Structure 1
Amino acid sequence: MEISSQQKKEKEDEGRVCLKRRLGFFDSVCFLVGSIIGAGIFISPKGVLEYSQLNIGVALCIWAASGVVSIMCSLCYAELGSTLPFAGGEYYHVRRGLGSLPAFITIWTLTLFIRPASNAARALTAAEYISRPFYSGCPPPDLLKKTLAIGILWVLGVINSKSIKISTWVQNVFTVLKMMSLTLITVYGMIEFGDNTKALEPFKEAFNSEVPNAAQIAESFFQGLYAYAGWNYLNYMAEEIKNPSKNIPRSIITAMCMVIVFYLLVNISYLTVLTPKEIVSSAAVSVTWADRTIPSVAWIIPVSVAISIFGSLNGGMFMLGRLNYAGSKEGHLPAIISMLHVHYLTPAPAMIISTIIASIFVIPSDLISLTNYFGFSTWLLVGLTCISLVVLRYREPDLNRPYKVFLPIAFGVIAVSAFLVLAPIIQSPKVQYFYALLFMLSGVVFYIPFIHFKLQIPGFDKITCYLQLLLEVSPTDIFEDSKTD
């Protein structure tokens, strides 16, 4: 009986200490969709509409255009992920294309601030929606929310440390549940669209409102692109995807198309029930929509928001663990972080350190507000990643590329990234942007002694050995896995 090359590779991996390729097409799509769809589409579509000057036509065009920009970025990442199917996402690709120092600044910024703060913010939002029903008429206490948020982080941290199968199951289930919630909103909108002739009126004069200026359109794009955040997560787990040369491009394209369609339909559903002014004045658009359409079971929507955030947070925790694992494997983080649990074959140390850092961010919530000023750095990393793609095209033309993006798309993403990096700084210069840039560059202070000159801290090897025995972890086996049949 003939065995496929993929089956041979999986059989060879059985005796190795390494991440296993366990995620199929459905798992990959669920991870991506579940990571992108968080609280944004349920709570704050008002941002796009507000900056669009309540112009419905412009707002819907910006939702679609934000999706197109995201899918352009995704296609660039699909080439990199299918060509170099290793954990680490942007960090690994920047290191391969641009070198060690830009890669270290990438992981320094992502690991120590952007991703942990993002996970902490999601955990706090989930905690608020979970505790809100018990405090009708008043906001839940901050201490309760923070305690519950830390508990959520550690539950997901333990799940991701113990079993990839369980964390995948959690992601799949929660993705299906949140898609059911979005389907409910979409179907009710379609029914209202068919039965109520007044629901058509806002769309007949969609472009008749005031047209926003260039600065307002830029702000609308920021709001729309924020709702699509997470489109790059699949590349972080490329080392665990079965048949990555085929499944990574297929999963990315399928997931992004699903998200774009649902985002547009849900926004149309909101507009068939609520006026633009009602949407802009609502703190949680989906909750206001539910009170208007299904008052007897309106509790479904707050529960759906909590479920959606929980699933998105699980994807964020999974991704951050792989980022830390990859950084350690490449020598940019302590060696203990790249070790795998000898029984579960999960990056347990990487998950533990990720959970600890995110938990620290929960305590002083003012730190989380600073993530708004790191938005430009996120797009700076996207631009660097696409520059790496172009560099690799010319420097390594013979590299096996199962999928190749149309190169002008990569140049388009670089141009968009440059705009999104410079626009907020030029439009509203604030000292916080300087602090964010200073934080990124401060990584050089650590890079020069510890990475470039390989300075060793006395006694650190003993600590590593002790932690290795305590956590029951082992270094990964090094082997060549560049083929992507």
Structure 2
Amino acid sequence: MPEMETTADHENTLRIANKSVSLRRTLGFFDGTCFLVGIIVGAGIFVSPTGVLQYAQLNVGVALCIWAACGILVMMGALCYAELGSALPYAGGEYYHVKQALGPFPAFIFIWTLILFIRPASNAARALMFAEYATRPFFSGCPTPELLKKIVALAVLWVLGIINTKSAKTTTWVQNVFTVLKMLALILIVTCGLKELAEKTEIPGHLQNAFSSPDLNAAQIAESFFQGLYAYGGWNYLNYIAEEIKNPTKNIPLCTITAVSVVIVFYLLVNISYLTVLTPKEIVSSAAVSVTWADRVIPMVAWIIPVSVAISIFGALNGGMFMLGRLNYAGSKEGHLPSLLSMLHVNHLTPAPAMILSTIIASIFVIPSDLLSLTNYFGFSTWLLVGLTVISLIVLRYREPNLPRPYKVFLPIAFGVVLVAAFLVLAPIIQSPKVQYFYALLFMLSSMIIYFPFVYFKLRVPYFNAITCYLQLLMEVAPTDIFEDPKSK
């Protein structure tokens, strides 16, 4: 879409405010680490152990190895992203890096797919899952009415949307608090599990003979990987908020390595705790393994775990919405989205228009439940985008060798991530080809309908300038290029 300019009179009106309108670098090491941990630790670790173990054919040893391998793969990808984020610390993350290395058209396909489907659908799914766990205590033994779940999901989306619009500081505080709470829940699971293991007279048989189950084929291992990687989802989000991190050349690599390392250790310990208390068959037959574990270990206060899951999802959703607003903001600054989305509120200094749009799109996904089922077929596109981002790192290494790189990843790691990403993109399509994958690919390519007329040829839409100006006044937002604050860079 075209980048529209405000009128000269309106710019003069905005200058009366005499304020610097730009994103501020306010997030330190603790904030960045909490943001990343809070994004990664959602519902996955409370639910995904069932899927990993099921596709691993109840082979406990293989399942634990898959959890560790997923962690290593995520760490490899995170190290690549740390180099890009520290060298190019600007909002937009993957989108910005792809645009710098591969050009505007691949970047436009990237942002088209992310902002219109993958990220809003992910936020909608998190909101619905939050509603499921938040209302479960009130419907003991009965399913929660679908209408109520959708109302609660919409409510939490708009509450977080308003918080993200009003104050970046409040959003960061919410993220930090909920990250600490969810980590306390994981510490409880780990501590109780290790206590149970210490009190047993002998190690459970399924742990003693961890690799005694039938051998797996490649397809089953791939499915297990997909389940494990779902629980690690969000590891690549930190670069989206790079423009708001203090001393990004130092803090982005530190936050990334610290957060991913903490998550890997906790995920392994939590799985050992589950396996100490429950048998593999009990885990596979459980809809939410953490709830089953709590009923067995802490029955008097088992309600803590469903509440903890809701808290965990809430924190992940908050971080997801924070990130998506910055992606829209970055796309607008680069001329790929309407200029209104790159404007910040003159008082709160938040990308208010971008946040409002993100919340509206996510809300649309909540209303028809069957729409969310399509997101399963976009899983391959997520790793396609990761592969493109790491390819961007390799391209920039050779094309811009003198680009300041405070942190450099060992280049074979980047090639390894590209190969794994290619496997994760092609495996589901080859293993179980379905027409939905064709629809997903068609949706990505449909971006050409917008790109060429509105971005490449800069076709102007009648009255769009006037609408932009009116919405700018209504929302009290201003373009960041009018007031440039050098201290914020």
Between the aligned partners of 1:197 and 1:411, the Cα distance in structure 2 is 47
Between the aligned partners of 1:482 and 1:207, the Cα distance in structure 2 is 58
Kept after mapping to 2: 8 A contact 1:468/1:474: yes
Between the aligned partners of 2:470 and 2:222, the Cα distance in structure 1 is 52
Identity of aligned residues (%): 76
Between the aligned partners of 2:486 and 2:278, the Cα distance in structure 1 is 52
Amino acid at match of 1:30: C
Between the aligned partners of 1:200 and 1:282, the Cα distance in structure 2 is 19
Q: Residue 210 of structure 1 is aligned with which of 198, 214, 231? A: 214
How far is 1:201 from its partner?
2.8
Alignment of 1:105-184 (within 5 A): 105-184=109-188
2:362 maps to 1:358: yes
TM-score (norm 1): 0.96
Kept after mapping to 2: 8 A contact 1:290/1:301: yes
Between the aligned partners of 2:444 and 2:203, the Cα distance in structure 1 is 49
2:101 maps to 1:97: yes
Alignment of 1:174-323 (within 5 A): 174-323=178-327
Between the aligned partners of 1:212 and 1:266, the Cα distance in structure 2 is 24
2:52 maps to 1:51: no
Match of 1:42 in 2: 46
Which of 306-315 and 475-484 deviates more? 475-484
TM-score (norm 2): 0.95
Kept after mapping to 2: 8 A contact 1:129/1:302: yes
Match of 2:336 in 1: 332
2:34 maps to 1:30: yes
2:428 maps to 1:429: no
Give CA-to-partner distance per residue, 1:204-252, whole Å, 9 cap, x none.
1111111211110011111111110000110000000000000000000
Label 1:478 to 1:246 Cα distance change in 2 as closer, same or farther (>3 A).
Answer: farther
Between the aligned partners of 2:183 and 2:397, the Cα distance in structure 1 is 37
2:398 maps to 1:394: yes
Between the aligned partners of 2:243 and 2:484, the Cα distance in structure 1 is 12
Label 1:388 to 1:480 Cα distance change in 2 as closer, same or farther (>3 A).
Answer: farther
Between the aligned partners of 2:312 and 2:449, the Cα distance in structure 1 is 39
Match of 1:458 in 2: 462
Kept after mapping to 2: 8 A contact 1:244/1:484: no
- What SS does the aligned partner of 1:197 have? coil
Kept after mapping to 1: 8 A contact 2:39/2:316: yes
Match of 1:11 in 2: none
**Number of aligned positions between the proteins:** 472
Label 1:409 to 1:70 Cα distance change in 2 as closer, same or farther (>3 A).
Answer: same
Kept after mapping to 1: 8 A contact 2:21/2:344: yes
- What SS does the aligned partner of 1:474 have? strand
Give CA-to-partner distance per residue, 1:392-451, whole Å, 9 cap, x none.
111111100000000000000000010000000000000000000000000011100000
Kept after mapping to 2: 8 A contact 1:37/1:227: yes
**Pairwise CA RMSD of aligned residues?**
1.5
Label 1:162 to 1:350 Cα distance change in 2 as closer, same or farther (>3 A).
Answer: same
How far is 1:44 from its partner?
2.6
Label 1:467 to 1:483 Cα distance change in 2 as closer, same or farther (>3 A).
Answer: closer
Which of 316-325 and 136-145 deviates more? 136-145
Alignment of 1:365-376 (within 5 A): 365-376=369-380
How far is 1:480 from its partner?
9.3
Q: Name structure 1 gaps, 5 residues minimum.
A: 1-13
How far is 1:482 from its partner?
11
How far is 1:80 from its partner?
0.3
Between the aligned partners of 1:318 and 1:361, the Cα distance in structure 2 is 18
How far is 1:199 from its partner?
3.9
- What SS does the aligned partner of 1:340 have? strand
